[in-house]
């Protein structure tokens, strides 16, 4: 998959793309169904299948306090899209020039002139252009006039509870600690990743050595303890993790602490991906280290039992 960073002034090789537009945050099962339809139809016509996304997310551009908005990091998003078979991924720089672009000009300058789209795929609620003035009705008008095909995708629902797949539902689930729901809607395990850094050695003193991560920029989960898998150098390990400020040891910053079962390697400086499986309990300040240690032992038993039965 080729990744292109473009802006309003960029020139793009003319390939007559089959294109889906959206942020595809999380690349959840609803997104994946759209992408599979895009790829299937593009292959019939022997045309490249492409995605047009935005960087930063428009919501983050207009609301600067939403720095923890993305469900997954850009690297994981790119890997999933590549694995699905996308040929070209365009990240359009979302700046003032794009924010002020009218819906009509977005169609003319981006869809028609820059990308020369042969067929466009969008969700039923797709909005675009200045003040989100553009919608699928406007796209249908331009499609008939300018000769490109348009496929508007109806809501795609979760068979478990008939809820439409949406990034907002997944964000809510993650923030509430409902990781199993988030994973079901995503179709893959939600994860956080980062470099393993040195901590204050408190966990090691309690005989529960941890790998400490300062997570990359993305949404934060509910503070507390989780059953996890961890991936290091393509190897997967079972374990347990705590996300929070560690009030019992007077922690002052958010940290992801990961304890891996039957693991004693030095991994400082390594990149670690932590896959969240289920929530055990919320973060709590204990009155003593002894009480904390006792609770950690219980948490580990719960986590091992979960791993054994799932």
How is the chain split into domains, by residue range? 2-153, 189-309
Going by pLDDT thresholds of 50, 70 and 90, the confidence category of residue 207 is: low
Residue 191 has pLDDT above 90, yes or no: yes
Q: How far apart are the first and last CA of the chain?
A: 34
Q: What share of the chain is helix, strand, coil (3-state, %, to 5)?
A: 35, 25, 40
* Mean pLDDT estimate for the chain: 89
Architecture of domain 2-153: 3-Layer(aba) Sandwich (3.40)
C-alpha distance from residue 131 to each of 4, 7, 128 (Å):
26, 19, 8
Instruction: List phi, psi (to 5°) of 252.
Output: -120, 0
- Residue pLDDT, tens place only, 67-85: 678 999 888 999 999 999 9
Is 189-309 in CATH node 2.40.30.30? yes
Residue 285 has pLDDT above 90, yes or no: no
Helix ranges (H only) for 85-166 are 96-99, 103-106, 136-146
Q: Which residues are paired to 150 by β-bridges? A: 120
Share of the chain above pLDDT 90, in %: 65
Q: By three-state DSSP, how is residue 143 classified? A: helix
Please say whether the dihedral angle defined by the alpha carbons of residues 22, 101, 110 and 73, taken in this order, is positive or negative.
negative
Task: Provide CB contacts within 8 A for 29, sequence distance 6+.
Answer: 156, 158, 165, 185, 186, 187
Residue 259 has pLDDT above 70, yes or no: yes
**Threshold 0.85, pTM exceeds:** yes
Q: What is the pLDDT of residue 87?
A: 96
């Amino acid at each position: 998959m080729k990744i292109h960073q473009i802006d309003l002034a960029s020139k793009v090789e003319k390939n007559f793309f089959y294109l889906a537009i959206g942020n595809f945050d999380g690349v959840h099962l609803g997104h994946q169904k759209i992408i599979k339809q895009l790829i299937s139809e593009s292959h019939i016509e022997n045309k490249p299948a492409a995605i047009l996304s935005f960087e930063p997310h428009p919501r983050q551009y207009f609301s600067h306090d939403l720095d923890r908005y993305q469900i997954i990091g850009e690297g994981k998003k790119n890997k999933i899209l590549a694995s699905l078979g996308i040929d070209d991924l365009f990240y359009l720089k979302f700046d003032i020039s794009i924010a002020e672009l009218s819906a009509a000009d977005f169609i003319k300058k981006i869809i028609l002139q820059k990308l020369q789209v042969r067929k466009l795929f969008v969700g039923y609620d797709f909005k675009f252009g200045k003040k989100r003035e553009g919608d699928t009705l406007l796209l249908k008008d331009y499609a008939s006039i300018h000769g490109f095909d348009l496929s508007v995708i109806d809501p795609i629902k979760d068979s478990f509870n008939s809820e439409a797949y949406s990034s907002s539902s997944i964000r809510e689930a993650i923030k509430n600690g409902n990781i199993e729901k988030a994973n079901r809607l995503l179709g893959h395990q939600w994860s956080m990743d980062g470099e393993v850094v040195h901590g204050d050695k408190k966990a090691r003193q309690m005989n529960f050595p941890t790998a400490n991560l300062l997570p990359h920029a993305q949404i934060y989960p509910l503070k507390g303890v989780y059953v996890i898998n961890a991936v290091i150098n393509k190897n997967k390990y079972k374990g347990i993790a705590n996300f929070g400020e560690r009030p019992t040891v007077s922690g002052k910053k958010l940290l992801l602490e990961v304890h891996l079962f039957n693991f004693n390697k030095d991994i400082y400086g390594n990149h670690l991906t932590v896959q969240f499986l289920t929530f055990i309990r919320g973060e709590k300040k204990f009155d003593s280290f002894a009480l904390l240690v006792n609770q950690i032992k219980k948490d580990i038993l719960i986590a091992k039992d979960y791993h054994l039965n799932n």
